[in-house]
Amino acid sequence: MDPLFIPQPDTIPVSWGWFQFLLLLTFPLHLLAMNAMLGGLAIGIVQHVKGGELQRQLAHRIAIALPLVIAFVVNLGVAPLLFVQVLYGQFLYSSSILMGVFWILIVPILIIAYYSAYLYDFRFTQLGSAGPWVAILAFTLLVGIGFFFANNMLLMASPEQFGAYFSHKSGTLLSFGQPEFWPRFLHMLCGALAVGGLFVALLGRFRSAANPDLAHHAEHVGLQVFLVLTVGNILLGTWYFFSLPGEVRLLFMGHHFGATSAFCVALLLAAGTLFGAWKKRFWLTFYHAVGLVVVMSFMRSWVRSGYLKDFFSLDALRVVPQYSPMIFFFVTLLVGIVCLGWLLKKTSGALLLERGRE
């Protein structure tokens, strides 16, 4: 057997369960925001290119929302990236270095994509026919970031590949050659585009009083996109499922109670989303889809621990206990939520007043 290159992890201040909890709490939020960003932008581009008044209006609404959504994708990505480093840092730091050139490229790519999104928003009218091209640029760059993330998340779970470092010291290793990479990436991407449909429908609902036609159009388009892509994603998911290493796949087929139960719940939720989208019942679809993303993120966590089973388990992390900083964090979180609530209240109050005046 080739030698393994797995660094020693650092100690953690509280039991790993807390970090797992926080990771699984924040990661689905990041996924939902990311889905809204990618799927929303894709639909916006198609609407913009298609032309027509309602389509253009919808594309504009999406363009206005896009920079805000990107900000929250990034923000909500910070927390899970922090917690996953605490739990799996020895794998993630190593895999990031192995693909260092691409990993650091994410930063300038994201800056360009983000500025493109602002350009698309602030200059939507002035850009004219160039607008969709700016949006396509942003979309391509954002998918590129997703591609690099997918590479790293698979690479970090494949420490048996780490020996390739010695022929990739400048950080040029990627994992898309692994058989499960493409179904995994495409399953995630297709899911993002589908859930983005629901975001578009939701965006339309915000305008239902001011522009009912737009709201109706947005919901129609959003649910249709969701339905078609979710059907497609079931096929991609099946491909992904059978591309997983046997031991990992079996976790979801009775070898692990939690993983198998989550898989069953996910199938039921998927059926619920399809039913809701078919019947054009937005909220039914929406809630099922949010639940599905949450359960899927749990399943993803089992996939990772399944991959790493032979090398590491979270129980191996040594705890040097210090609980007071965690209490400080929870208090801060509470204060933060109160502040966000206050901002929401004041903003919606002002907007209602504004609408009343109109």
Partner 1 sequence: MNYPVWFLPETGGGFLIALISILHVFVSHFAVGGGLYLIYAEKKGLREKSQPILDFTKRHARFFLLITMVFGSISGVGIWFIIALVNPAATSLLIHNFVFGWAAEWVFFSVEIAAAFVYYYMFGRMDSKTHLQVGWLYFFAAWMSLALINGIIGVMLTPGSWAENMDFWAGFFNPGFFPSLVFRTFIAVMIAACYGYLSASFTTDSKTRVTMTRFSAKWALVSLGLSVISGFWYLSVLSDQSHGLVMGKSPTIVALLPWGGGGLLFFLLVMLGAGIIRPSLNHKPVALLAMVSALLIMGGFEWTREAARRPYVINEVMYSNSILKKDMADLNAKGYLHKALWVQNKQVSEDNLVAAGEELFLHQCYACHTVNGRNNDIVKATSSMSYGALVSYIKKIHEVRYFMPPFAGTEMEGRALAAYIAGGLHGKEIQEPPQGSSLAGPKNGATLFDENCASCHAVEDLTAALTGEDKTAVIGMLKTLNEISDAMEPFSGTEEEHEVLADFLKNTKQGGK
- Contact residues toward partner 1 (CB under 8 A) are 5-13, 19, 22, 67-68, 71-72, 74-75, 78-79, 81-83, 85-86, 89-90, 93-94, 96-98, 100, 103-104, 106-107, 110-111, 114-115, 118, 162, 165-166, 169-171, 320, 322, 324-326, 328-329, 332-333, 335-336, 339-340, 342-343, 346-347, 349-351, 354
Which residue reads 């036609």 in tokens?
Answer: 213
In the complex, least distance from residue 53 CB atom to partner 1, rounded to whole angstroms: 25
Beta carbon nearer to partner 1, 275 or 328: 328
In the complex, least distance from residue 139 CB atom to partner 1, rounded to whole angstroms: 17
Quote the longest CA-to-CA distance of the chain.
74
In the complex, least distance from residue 270 CB atom to partner 1, rounded to whole angstroms: 31
In the complex, least distance from residue 124 CB atom to partner 1, rounded to whole angstroms: 15
In the complex, least distance from residue 122 CB atom to partner 1, rounded to whole angstroms: 8
Q: What is the 3-state secondary structure (H, E, C) of 48-72?
A: HHHCCHHHHHHHHHHHHHHHHHHHH
Beta carbon nearer to partner 1, 246 or 354: 354
Q: How far apart are CA 148 and CA 223, in angstroms?
A: 29
Beta carbon nearer to partner 1, 118 or 311: 118
* CB of 6 closer than 8 Å to CB of 91: yes
In the complex, least distance from residue 90 CB atom to partner 1, rounded to whole angstroms: 8
Beta carbon nearer to partner 1, 32 or 303: 32
Q: HSE (CB half, 13 Å, CA atoms) of 72?
A: 17
Beta carbon nearer to partner 1, 212 or 325: 325
In the complex, least distance from residue 9 CB atom to partner 1, rounded to whole angstroms: 8
Cα three-residue angle 247-190-188, rounded to 5 degrees: 40
Residue-wise over 4-23: b if at least 16 C-beta within 10 A, else e?
eeeeebeebeeebebbbebb
Cα three-residue angle 32-34-37, rounded to 5 degrees: 110
Beta carbon nearer to partner 1, 104 or 130: 104
Beta carbon nearer to partner 1, 86 or 229: 86
Q: How far apart are CA 251 and CA 161, in angstroms?
A: 23
Beta carbon nearer to partner 1, 110 or 250: 110
Q: List, in sequence order, every residue forming a beta bridge with 12; answer none if it has no partner.
A: 319
In the complex, least distance from residue 19 CB atom to partner 1, rounded to whole angstroms: 8
Q: What is the DSSP string of 4-44?
A: P--PPPPPBSS-HHHHHHHHHHHHHHHHHHHHHHHHHHHHH
Measuring CA to CA, which residue among 42, 41, 60 is closest to residue 207?
60
